[in-house]
Amino acid sequence: MNFAQVLVNSLITASELGIIAVGLTLTFSLLKFANFAHVETAVAGAYLAWTLNVRLGLNFAVSIAAAVLVMGLAGVVIDRLVFRIFRNADDVAPMIASLGLAIAIRYSMQAIFGPRFLRYDFGIAPGMRIVGAFVTRQQVWILGIVLLAIVGFHILLQYTTIGKAMRATSTNPELAQASGVNTEWVIAWVWFLGTAFAALGGALVAWDTQLVPELGFNLVIPVFCVVLIGGVGSVYGALLGALVVGLAVNFGVAVNFAPLANLIGGADWVSSLRIPADYKPAIVYLAVVLILLLRPSGFMRRELA
Amino acid sequence: MTALLQVRGLHCAYGADEIIHGVDIEVSPGEIVTILGPNGCGKTTLVKSILGFVRATRGEIYFRDRELRQLRPTERAALGIGYVPQLLNTFKPLTIAENLEIGGYRLRRSERNAAMARMLALFPLLAERRSQLAGTLSGGERQVLAMARALIMSPCLLFLDEPSAGLSPLRAHEVFQHIRDIAATGTAIVIVEQDVQRALAISNRAYVLVTGQVVMQGPAASIATDERIGRAYLGAKMRGPVSKPPPLTPIAPA
Amino acid sequence: MPILDQPPKFGRRSLLKLTGAACLTTAMPLPTVAAAQTTEPVKIGVIIGLTGSAAVAGNDSYRAMQLGAEEVNEAGGVLGRPIKLIVEDDEGRPKSGVEAANKLADVDKVAACIGAYQSSIALPVGRLLNEKGVVWVTDATTNDLKTVGPYLFNVAGIAEQAVALVDFVKADKAGAKKLTGIFQNNPIGQDRAKVSEKRAKELGLEWIPALLYQPGATDFRTELQQVVNAGADAILTDIYDSDAPIIQRQLVELGMGDFSNTYSYNPGAYGTLEPNLIEGIKGLNYITGGIRAEAFNKKFLEKFGHIYTDAWGGPPFYDAVWIVATAINLANGLDRKKIRDAMWPAAYHYLGVSGNGDKGFNKWGMQASDQYEKLAYKAGKMVPLSKGPENIVVFRYSDDQGTPLSHAPSEEQNQQLYPGYKP
Ligand SMILES: Nc1ncnc2c1ncn2[C@@H]1O[C@H](COP(=O)(O)OP(=O)(O)OP(=O)(O)O)[C@@H](O)[C@H]1O
Ligand SMILES: [Mg+2]
């Protein structure tokens, strides 16, 4: 096993999942329902960035920034048009609405952009060698951008008035209103940030891999697992969850379990015993089950803190 | 003296269950009003509907001659109505300072800082622990924080839903002392309380609510001595050993 | 139109030439049997993906069938009646395929069914039509097709491309000792892995467990890294078109710059990628060869304005229409069992456009031979590895699997071949 390489791969997986999961858990923390359309807005953001970059020929960074902003605003609009109706309903109605929305977005993307894979405008080259691991330029960028986004978000959440209002509204919406906090404005911010993070994550995943309409399908389970592991509604938990999932899936398939098996004995001596790569989704589930067994509500408390 | 708050013929319901059946209440500037009644009679519901959290199905709510029913809770709060809920009265994962900041959310930064400084001076307990999380405070400390949070906007009307619930007699005494101090600054206060004698002792007037209707109202002193109340409506709460209220100074006229 | 009053008794070669010529010129009538009292068309069911995951190949396949049906009708049809294709879209989904098969068999009462480009559809439809006793002709090529029953026929080959590819690697890469693979994690990919491993070991090569990747996923870096590090001399691949871009990209990013050790079962999957992602990849592709192929290609192009994109998705289905039509004539009626038994002689004597033209069925109803062309990517283009006849690989087992039958197996034989089968 090339330890450095697997670690790099884990960090990339974690940062891509993490940034999307933070957006998901953010909307959950305020609105208390699972937004299944979240990952599809990530895909929509990636397609929007592609349109700006490849179709309209804009600079790549500008395209991503614009897509992130536009999708953030789209999140606010979606809330006004769809989810606001369910503000005082239980959590099943908005969840089902989000499922419908997810399907609508996915098939719209397929109808508009076709089933074929798309790629942003850049060449593919071998990665640089850093302590034995191949790391591509875009991966370095992705790690940097995600780190920046997370630090920025942390500062916003902890030190700005709107951030504090978000945390307050998430823990006690009634008291926030009684304190004069305009919770609808706070919710609008949460949709903006949540959807913008989704779009950013989607664009980064697409940059790092490729853009296909089923991207959301591949992301939805890992992202929800990340959120579950971290503690639903907890932003910092989601980051931890992403790290757990990233490490688990990559080391899970990379580790040679033969020495362990030989130690336990029983079967014949083996030189190579690995978890097949197609068990990756199963590894994610296993991580979720193990962690929820140890900590039934995930790593962190379910509030924006 | 024109009424600060005027509630007329108020009905409210959770879905199809009507809880409040036509209630009239008035609060004048600077006065302390107590709402009494057995558990589950609708005291909290009444307060929440005045604040906008429970929908009023019929009736009128006037605050400073302004009809409130079309306003959202945030807008009602902005008019100068403070509220300390019965449960969940602080933002637990936020620090004391942050709780106060949220209380002053609508103020400009400089005003907010000034108001916070005022509160911290008023409640030295909070000043010492400004970066402690509210969730780690004791019940009494939390009640103080909740009042400070509500007061930071200098509301002209403050609702306190069972401020002494779960507190030791000493702590409860302190809280009532604070309430009197607040009233002394001219803020009208509506208290919902189980500790009837203590609440009545600092109140000007009182309403007795039973199954969503006002069955008695009048000056606090006369209600406090009315035997029928204890027997008929307040049950064990009145009969149990009530800790003797400490001597109070007279209420300053508003 | 001259009508023969006896079933034809031609020798194999002569009939191959005859039908071949007939189809080329479309002037000669088919041997047709008398007593055509009605001119109502004979219905032949078509189950193919006109939409869905294999829609491009599916549409070309249907076009090829239309071409075949048109020729059959120009040549006099069957039993003195024209044939008519009733097409149902399987949408690339097994469930739709099975629903279509039910409808075609029970409502339209078709004489036979043709179709299914994908094994996932060919298998369940085959099982259903075997229960119903309706001939089912497909060009899917999984080994499992052999187990379905006597009503199933395959006009593409016996799915031993895996064996042929390992042989190709051994011949092409002198000194190769260790082999491994990258295959889709589905029944076809698992079958590829199994057969490749078996063949490699038969040839005395070492086999490193293959990577079975999750189709549609987008991050394969860690598992690909292991393939790269495993130290194999050659990597066999069967990768879907939609997965090839990301897998090649990640291989390049992981430092793999030379793909001359990559041998593909599906080299066409790499067709749209940048040259630096695919340079040197070799592979075996199903071919449209034989003496009739060129004429067929010309006709297809003239009629539809383009050439089919996949040798698998078109020509074999054209052949299927001709074989079914011939079988109906040989059966001298629409008795489904007689049509079934006539499929063997019909295919045995018929000269096709797909493969190298030899469409004879073995006793399982599978085409007895496989034909492939060696291909390689040079400067981003897929080209034949060489020009001469050595570039064509015809694979045929020396046992029963490779023996075409001129007559149907007996019912006793069928019962031995298919444990659950009742005549
Ligand atoms: N959200 C709700 N949905 C439905 N019914 C409710 C709801 N909240 C309270 N109720 C019901 O309304 C009635 C009045 O409740 P409320 O909390 O106003 O009583 P209370 O007088 O404040 O009681 P306590 O002295 O125990 O605080 C009770 O019967 C209660 O069960
Ligand atoms: Mg109450």
Measuring CA to CA, which residue among C301, C296, C304, C303 is closest to residue C322? C296
Of A203, A240, A235, the residue nearest A219 (C-alpha): A203
pLDDT at B247: 44
C18: domain range? 9-159+288-368
DSSP C232: -
A183 or A90: whose pLDDT is higher?
A183
pLDDT tens profile C47-102: 999 987 778 889 999 999 999 999 999 999 999 999 999 999 998 889 999 999 99
**Could you say which ligand is closest to the alpha carbon of residue B194?**
1
Label residue B62 by pLDDT band (50, 70, 90). Answer: very high
Locate the domains of chain A by residue range: 3-214
pLDDT at C25 over 60: no
- Domains in chain C, number: 1
Query: Which band of pLDDT confidence, cut at 50, 70 and 90, is reported for residue B232?
Result: low
Distance CA C174, CA C349 (A): 40
Which chains contact C through at least 3 pairs of Cβ atoms less than 8 Å apart? A
Within a domain: B215: yes
Question: Which pLDDT belongs to residue C159?
Answer: 65
* Spacing, Cα B168 to ligand 1 middle (Å): 25
Instruction: Provide the mean pLDDT of chain A.
Output: 90
Q: Is the CB of B196 under 6 A from ligand 1?
A: no
Q: Give the closest of A168, A177, A303 to B74, CB-based.
A: A177
Pick from A218, A278, A281: which is nearest to C212 by CB? A278
Lowest mean pLDDT among B233-242, C343-352, C384-393: B233-242
ipTM strictly over 0.90? no
For the record, the structure tokens of B194 come out as 């189980």
Task: Verify C-A touch: 3 or more CB pairs within 8 A.
Answer: yes
Establish if B125 belongs to a structural domain.
Answer: no
Task: Give the strands of the sheet with B32-36, arranged side by side.
Answer: B81-84, B157-161, B188-192, B32-36, B205-210, B213-219
- Domain assignment present for C110: yes
Whether C122 and C317 have beta carbons less than 8 Å apart is answered as no
Q: Which residues pair with C48 in a beta bridge?
A: C89
Q: Closest Cα to residue C219, out of B75, A136, B91?
A: A136
The reported pLDDT for the residue numbered C38 is 72
Sequence-distant (≥ 6) Cβ neighbours of residue A160 within 8 angstroms: none
- Could you tell me the distance, in angstroms and rounded to a whole number, from the CA of residue B204 to the centre of ligand 1? 26
Averaged pLDDT score across all residues of chain C:
86
Q: Which residues neighbour C410 within 8 Å (Cβ) at sequence distance 6 or greater?
A: none
Cβ of A181 within 8 Å of Cβ of B73? The answer is no
Distance of CA A113 to the CA centre of its chain: 22
Residue C337 pLDDT exceeds 70: yes
Instruction: Tell me the nearest-neighbour CA distance from B176 into chain A, angstroms.
Output: 22
Token pair belonging to C336: 């489904």
pLDDT digits (tens, 9 = 90+) for A93-102: 999 999 999 9
Say if residue C408's pLDDT is above 50.
yes
Residue C272: inside a domain, yes or no?
no
Cβ A5–C276 below 8 Å, yes or no?
no
Q: Distance (Å, rounded) from C-alpha A118 to C-alpha A112?
A: 12
Contacts of the segment A122-125: beta carbons below 8 A, 24+ positions apart: A122/A60, A123/C274, A124/C249, A124/C252, A124/C253, A124/C274, A124/C276, A124/C277, A125/C252, A125/C253
Mean pLDDT of the residues in chain B = 87
Residue B88 CA, distance from chain mean position: 14
Pick the residue from chain C with its C-alpha nearest to A252: C222
Q: What is the pLDDT of residue A305?
A: 54
C226-255 tens-digit pLDDT? 898 888 999 999 988 888 989 999 999 998
Closest chain A C-alpha to B75 CA, distance in angstroms: 7
The 10 Å CB-count burial string (b at 16+, else e) for A134-149 is bbbebbeebbebbeeb
Q: Are strands C112-115 and C83-89 parallel, antiparallel or unpaired?
A: unpaired
Q: Give the range of the structural domain holding residue B83, as residue numbers without chain letter.
A: 5-87+159-250
Q: Summarize pLDDT for B137-189 with one digit per residue, the tens.
A: 988 899 999 999 999 999 999 999 999 888 888 888 888 998 999 999 999 99
CB contact at 8 A, C333 and C344: no
Helices A235-254 and A137-159, packing angle to 10 deg: 150
Q: How many CB atoms lie within 10 A of CB C67?
A: 21
The tally of CA atoms less than 13 A away on the side-chain side of residue C181 is 31
To the nearest whole Å, the CA of C70 is away from the closest chain A CA by: 33
Q: Report pLDDT digits (tens) over C354-407.
A: 888 889 999 999 999 888 889 999 998 889 898 877 888 888 888 888 899 999
B151 within some domain = no
Residue from C396, C317, C233, C404 nearest C54 by CA = C317
For residue C61, the domain's CATH number is: 3.40.50.2300
Nearest protein Cα to ligand 1, atom 29: B40
* pLDDT tens digit sequence for C272-316: 888 989 999 999 888 877 788 889 999 999 999 998 877 888 899
* pLDDT for position B234: 54
Burial of A36 per CB tally in 10 Å (0-12, 13-18, 19+): buried
Q: A230 vs A216, A238, A253, C96, CA distance in Å?
A: 20, 4, 22, 41
| pLDDT tens per residue across span A270-305 | 677 788 888 888 888 888 888 888 887 777 765 565
Please provide the DSSP assignment of A180-245 as one string.
T--HHHHHHHHHHHHHHHHHHHHHHHHHHS-B-TTHHHHHHHHHHHHHHHH-TT-HHHHHHHHHHH
% of chain A at pLDDT higher than 70: 96
Q: Identify whether the C-beta of residue C29 lies closer than 8 Å to the C-beta of residue C10.
A: no
How do strand C135-138 and strand C112-115 relate by DSSP bridges?
A: parallel
Contact assignment for A210 to C249 by CB distance below 8 Å: yes
Q: How confident is the model at residue A241 (pLDDT cuts 50, 70, 90)?
A: very high
pLDDT tens-digit map of B74-133: 999 999 999 999 889 999 999 999 999 999 999 999 999 999 999 999 899 899 999 999
Residue C4 lies in a domain: no
> Strand order in C152-154's β-sheet?
C83-89, C42-48, C112-115, C135-138, C152-154
Q: Is A168 on the interface with B (CB under 8 A)?
A: yes
Give the 3-state secondary structure of residue B99: helix
Tell how far the Cα of B161 is from the centroid of ligand 2, in angstroms: 7
Question: What pLDDT does B131 receive?
Answer: 92
- The answer to whether the Cβ–Cβ distance between A174 and B78 falls below 8 Å is no
Nearest bound ligand to the CA of residue B53:
1
Shortest-distance Cα residue to atom 31 of ligand 1: B40
Q: Which amino acid is at C32?
A: T
Q: Please answer whether residues A296 and A228 qualify as being in contact, where contact means their C-beta atoms are separated by less than 8 angstroms.
A: no
Q: Which residue has the higher pLDDT, B99 or B196?
A: B99
Chain B residues lying within 8 Å of A174, measured CB to CB: 53, 73, 85, 88
* Beta strands at C152-154 and C178-184: parallel, antiparallel or unpaired: unpaired
Specify the CATH number for the domain of residue B201: 3.40.50.300
Using CA atoms, how far apart are residues B161 and B151, in angstroms rounded to an integer? 15
Question: What is the number of structural domains in chain B?
Answer: 1
- pLDDT(B248) > 60: no
Q: Are A43 and A213 in contact (CB under 8 A)?
A: yes
Give the DSSP H or E segment for C263: strand C262-264
Lowest mean pLDDT among A51-60, A255-264, B24-33, B107-116: A255-264
DSSP A99-156: HHHHHHHHHHHHHHH-SS-B--S----PPEEETTEEE-HHHHHHHHHHHHHHHHHHHH
